[in-house]
Each structure stands twice: as structure tokens, then as C-alpha cells.
Structure 1
């Protein structure tokens, strides 16, 4: 019969070996954080050359392009947003970019959406039939024009609620 021998404290409880174990556990952690920082983009390139993807100055305001709304008989536009004048220019730009992206994403649902982009028009440049009585609304985000008989189906193709967040407005009444 063999007797059991005492082998000393467990490996993790030994002073020297415990430090070694902590060191080996910390190395992957530090490497993982370093890779995460690199992937996450928190390290900016030191180059001062502009690639054209960022504005040259962070304080440069966003520029909006306004378009006159076409007012041809028998056509409609889809009014997606009626905006108040107090809305920030950068927020309007984000809204236009989002709606353009959404139209491009949904153009396979209806070929009439192909090539459409969200446009912005000032209150003075919209068709008379579309101007709301409420004077708070000074800008309108819309797409079109489309034949009036097709416009309501385009709201459905965009997964929007007709007459709520997508108004198929006839430009001439």
C-alpha cells in the first residue's frame, strides 16, 4: 500500500507561479484591447492630407441644396417631411441622406423609385396645391415627380404609411 505524499500548496496558490499565471492572463487582454482600439478607429492617422471623405474643418457648416418643386399637371410628389425653420442644418442634411438611402434600399420594390433622391424645397418654391396653411413649415423633403395614379403605391413600396409619413400630393388641383 502506498502512502499519500503532501505535494505542497496548489499551483495557483504558490507565490511565484501565481504571478506568472496573472501575467499570462494579462497578455491576451492587453493584446485584445490594442486590436480593439485599432479596429474601432480611436487612433487617427497623423497625415494631414485630406482624402475627401471628411470636411476640411470640423466647424464648417453643412450646406443644403434647395430644389424647385415641379408643378406639372397630372403629376404628384411624395412629401416625406414638413420641416420647421428652427431645425438645424446638419439635422436636415442627415434626414435628406437617410431618406435618399432608404429610397435606394427600397427601389427594388417598385421600379418607379429607381434613381430617385430625397430633395429639399423652401416653402416659397413648392407647388401652390401643396403649401400647408400652417406657416411653421418652411421646408419640405420630397421625392418625385411621379404620375398621380402611381404615387400612393410608392408609399407602400417605401414601407411608409400613406397620408401620415408619406403624402402623395398632386402638384396641381
Structure 2
């Protein structure tokens, strides 16, 4: 009643120019709607995970299947080095026997990838892959005196007169990380 008397005497109350947003009851309604929509979603995901987890564990129990062991990595493939007169191989790595097979595999894959990347630089590199040989399977001339080296990664064979140019085509340092070795001397 007092507000009504005030309005008659002074006029209606003045509105501020600042917008305060929707009335409080309207804001609360949007929040409730959001919560009500999210609750079934969360419950559905939870039920799905429970059902999915139970189905998976029941299937193993019913069939007697045990969990599988992780796949065994591919065994390294060794190649005999050809020892034809007048040919050479590019020895890229001399490896110690203590080197893990996984690291040897990485070197083989890398060198094969690099050769494929650089094969346009020299036609002799086309179709070449990095090969791995044991110490007993390389040409006698190539075996170093140091017995720590038991495996060799190499490319070839190539004609002896073209082998040094292949190191350059591969952007390798001749005599350091690319040794063009004649298989027979």
C-alpha cells in the first residue's frame, strides 16, 4: 500500500539502464532443464559400461578362453652375403651381439626406408632393401678382427666400380657409415 501511495505522489519507479538478465525464476528453469537432460545421459553411459564389462567377462568365463598374450615380434631374418668376384656390398652397420632385436629391427627398417627414399638418386638403389647377416655368413674379407661385432646390416651386391657412388647417393660418409667393401680381393 505504501508503494502505491509513493507511485501516486512521485510517479512510477525509475528503471535502471543496466540489463540484469531474465528474472531469477527463468534462469533456474534453464539450469534444471540442463540437469534433467544430463542425468539420463550419464546414467545410460554408466549402465552401458556395466553391461559391456559384464558381457566381456562372462564370455571369457563361458568359453574357457584365457586372455591372449601379446604378439611375439617378428624374428629377425638373416641372409647369407653373396661373395661373387667383382662385386661389393655397402656395409651400413656392424653390430655387437648384445644389441636387442628390437633395436636391430629399427635399424633395418630405417635403412630400407632411407634407400627407398633415395633410390631416385641412383638407379642401382631401386628395389634394394637392407639385409642382416651373422658373422659366419658374411664374406671372409669383410669380417673385422674385433669379435664383438656379430651382425652386419648391408646393401647389395653391386658392381665394385659403382659402390662408392652409392654411398654419396644415400648421403652417407664413405668409410664411416657406409663402407663399400669388395667381397673378394
Q: CA RMSD in A?
A: 2.7
1:65 lines up with 2:77 in the alignment? yes
Structure that is richer in helix per residue = 2
Match of 1:94 among 101, 106, 122: 106
Structure 1: runs of 5+ lacking an equivalent: 10-14, 20-55
Q: Secondary structure at the match of 2:115?
A: helix
Q: Deviations over 1:13-67 (max 9, x none)?
A: xx87xx8xxxxxxxxxxxxxxxxxxxxxxxxxxxxxxxxxxxx952414301111
Q: Deviations over 1:100-149 (max 9, x none)?
A: 11111111000000111111000011111100111100000000000111
Match of 1:139 among 137, 143, 151: 151
Deviates more, 1:126-135 or 1:88-97: 88-97
2:125 counterpart residue number: 113
Where does 1:4-19 land on structure 2 (aligned, <5 Å)?
A: 5-8=17-20
Alpha-carbon distance in structure 1 between the residues aligned to 2:137 and 2:130: 16
Contact 1:162 1:168 in 2 (8 A): yes
The TM-score, its normalising length taken from structure 1, stands at: 0.68
Q: Of the two, which has the highest radius of gyration?
A: 2
Structure 2: runs of 5+ lacking an equivalent: 1-15, 22-26, 32-67
The TM-score, its normalising length taken from structure 2, stands at: 0.64
The alignment covers a number of residue pairs equal to 135
4+ residue runs over 2 A deviation: 4-9, 56-59
2:87 counterpart residue number: 75
CA deviation after TM superposition for structure 1 residue 72, in Å: 1.0
